Amino acid sequence: MNLQTTIAGPASVSGVGVHSGKPARLTIRPAGEGTGVVFVRADVADRDGDIPALATRVTTTELGTNMTNDAGVSVATVEHFLAACAGLGVDNVRAELDGPELPILDGSSKPFVALLERAGLKHQAKPRRVLRILKTVEIRQGVKFARLSPGEDFTMRIAIDFPTRAIGRQAISFTMLPGAFAREIAWARTFGFAHQAEQLYAMGKGLGASMDNTVVIENDAVINPGGLQAHDEFVRHKLLDVIGDLFLAGGPIEGLYEAEQPGHALNNQLLRAVFADTSSFAWT
In terms of pTM, does the model score above 0.85?
Answer: yes
User: Does one domain contain both 186 and 144?
Assistant: yes
Domain end residue (candidates: 112, 127, 142) = 127
Q: What is the pLDDT of residues 52-103, one digit of tens each?
A: 999 999 999 998 999 999 999 999 999 999 999 999 999 999 999 999 999 9
Q: What is the pLDDT of residues 153-166, one digit of tens each?
A: 999 999 999 999 99
Domain range enclosing 267: 131-283
**pLDDT bucket at 1, cuts 50 / 70 / 90:** low
Neighbouring C-beta atoms of residue 267, cutoff 10 Å: 26
Q: Structural domain tally of the chain?
A: 2
Q: What is the pLDDT of residues 181-234, one digit of tens each?
A: 999 999 999 999 999 988 898 888 899 999 999 999 999 999 999 999 999 999
User: Does one domain contain both 13 and 88?
Assistant: yes
User: Does one domain contain both 38 and 105?
Assistant: yes
Q: Which CATH number characterizes residue 270's domain?
A: 3.30.1700.10
User: Cα-flanking dihedrals φ and ψ of residue 49, to 5°?
Assistant: -90, 0
How much is the pLDDT for 47?
A: 67
User: Does one domain contain both 17 and 148?
Assistant: no
User: Does one domain contain both 272 and 147?
Assistant: yes
How much is the pLDDT for 127?
A: 96
Beta pairing partners, 148: 137, 257
Domain end residue (candidates: 76, 98, 127) = 127
Flag whether pLDDT at 109 surpasses 70: yes
Active site residues: 264
User: Does one domain contain both 147 and 267?
Assistant: yes
Q: Which of 10-19, 36-45, 149-158 has the lowest mean pLDDT?
A: 36-45
**pLDDT bucket at 138, cuts 50 / 70 / 90:** very high
User: Does one domain contain both 219 and 254?
Assistant: yes
Q: What is the pLDDT of residues 248-284, one digit of tens each?
A: 999 999 999 999 999 999 999 999 999 999 999 999 9
User: Does one domain contain both 122 and 141?
Assistant: no
User: Does one domain contain both 116 and 167?
Assistant: no
How much is the pLDDT for 197?
A: 87
Provide mean pLDDT across the span 161-184: 97
User: Does one domain contain both 115 and 136?
Assistant: no
Q: Which CATH number characterizes residue 15's domain?
A: 3.30.230.20
Domain end residue (candidates: 89, 108, 127) = 127
User: Does one domain contain both 172 and 275?
Assistant: yes
Flag whether pLDDT at 124 surpasses 70: yes
User: Does one domain contain both 23 and 43?
Assistant: yes
Flag whether pLDDT at 43 surpasses 70: yes
